[in-house]
Structure 1
C-alpha cells in the first residue's frame, strides 16, 4: 500500500467485540479500520462455531454465533469501516495521536489510537494425548469445533470436557444425534448454572448419557473410522462407548503472537488494562474482550461489548483534544450520517 490508510482508531481483531467497537466509535464520529488475521470477520464465532447458540446476549434468548456476526455487520454498515482481512499486525510504532501500524502484507495504517480486540490471539485446540488420534482427526472422526450441526445427524457422539462448550454442544446436538455421551472427570460441570441444570434434566430424561467420573483413555476403530471411545475412571476401570465422532472440548491454546512483543504489560498471556477505560500500559492503546484482563473481569461477549463503549469514550478526547463530548443516548440522536 503506497499511501497509509488513515483512521482515528485501528481496531485489531474483527470478532464480535471488535465489530461492536467499530459501531461505538462510529457513534462518536470516530473513523475506524478493522484488521484481522482471519480471512473473514467474526473471529471464533465465525471460524469455530457459527451454528452454536449463544444464550447471554441481551434481548436474544438464543442466537446462533453466525447470526450474531451478521447482525453486528449490519449495525456498522452506516460507518463503512475499511477491512484489512487475512493480515497479521507485525509492528506498531509511534505514540498516542500518531501511531503507525504495519502488517505482514505490507499494509501501513496511520491511526491516532488503537483498540486490540484480538480475542484469544492465535488459537488452536488443546488436543487430548491419545495414541493414533491424528488418523481420526484426518477423517473427521475426531473434531474440535462444530460448524454445521446437520453434519452430526444420526451420529453416535462422545463429548469430552466439563466446560461451557461441552455442555452447550451436548444440549444443542441431543435432538440431532443418534446418541450423546458426555465424559467428564468429576460430577460438577464448569458451565453456566442454567445450562448445567438443562444438562442434568436431559440426563434424567435419558437424552444424554453422563459418563462421570471418567476421562479419555483410548480410541478404537479402523482406517480412521471410529468404533468406540475407551474411557477410564480414577481407579483404572474402563468402559467402551460406541461412537462415530469424538468431540474433545478442552479449551483453546492461546498464543498472543506478535502482540507479546509490543511492550504492553501482560499477565498470563492477557493484556492488563485500566478497568474504567480499558487503556493498556501504553497511552493511546486499548484492549477489550477476551485478550484484556483486570480485577473482576468476566470472559463474556456482553462484557466485551461494554468495554468497547468505555474504550470509545476514552479515545474521543485523544482524537479530539479540547473538544467536549456531549453524550446522548442512541434513542435520541440516532445513528450519525
Structure 2
C-alpha cells in the first residue's frame, strides 16, 4: 500500500522567457504541469510510486504530455484521451514590485470533458495508501466533479488515506454548482486537510482570523463539521516582493499544534507549483516520518521549489532533507 494516486488536469503553460511581458515577446517557452500532476511528479522525483488519473487530447500535443508524465516513471494506465484540445494557460513572470499574471484557457479542454463512469477506480486504487485531490478539478466541469466523487467514494470504502488541498479558484465553477457547496461535500470524504484559514473559511462560510488562535479555532470547527478529517496542515507564504518569499508550515494533529521555522528564498526563480511541492513533501513525509518531521519536510520542499523553473519540484528527498537540516548556503557540490 505504498503507492499514491493523483487525479487532475495535465495542462500546458506558455510563458515568455526572462521575465518579459507578452507585449515585448515574440516567442514563449512551454511546460507541462497541473496542480495534481505537479504533486505526482514531485513525489516521483522523491522516489515515490505514483499513478495519475486524467484525460488528454488525442493528438501530438496529448502524446507529448503523456511522454512527459511517463518520463517521471508515473503510471499512466488510467489516463484517457478525447477529441478536445489540451488545456493551457499563459503566465507572465513578475519581478520585484511587478506581480506575475495568469490567463487560463481550460474550461473546454480535454480534462474538462473527461467522462464520469469510465475509470475503474477500484483497479486504479489497487496498492495505494494515499489518494490526493485538489479543489481545482471539481471546479473545471461537472463531469470532472462526478468522476472525482466516484474515486473518493471508492477510496473511502477501501480505507485509503485521502489528502485534499481544497484550493478555491473563483474563475472556475461555471457549470451551476457553487465552490463551497461542492468542496464541503468532497472534503467530507477526506482524512487529511492541506490548507489554512482561508480555505476553511471558504468551505464553512466562516470568518476566522489568520493568526495562530484563529487557525486553531478554524481547525477545530472544521473537524467538528467534517469528522473524517483527523490532520490539518497549513502552508504560510509571506511575499516580501515577487522576487523574495518566506515559507512556513503549521499543523494541528489531534490536539497537538506545531509549526516550522521561517525559510527565506531570495531571489525567487519560479513561484508556480510551490504549494504543490508542499503537498507532495507532506505526503512523502507522512509515509516516512512522524507528523512534525513531515511538516518540516513539506516546508523545505516548498522553499526549494521556488528556486526551480517550471511547475514541478525536481528535487530528490535527499535535496530536501539538506535544506531541512539547514544546509541552504548554496555551495557547489563536487
- Answer whether TM exceeds 0.5 for this pair: no
Task: Mark the structure with the bigger radius of gyration.
Answer: 1
- TM-score calculated relative to the size of structure 1: 0.32
TM-score, normalized by length of structure 2?
A: 0.32
Higher helix share: 2
Q: Which has the higher contact order (CA 8 A, sep 6+)?
A: 1
Q: Which has the higher strand share?
A: 1
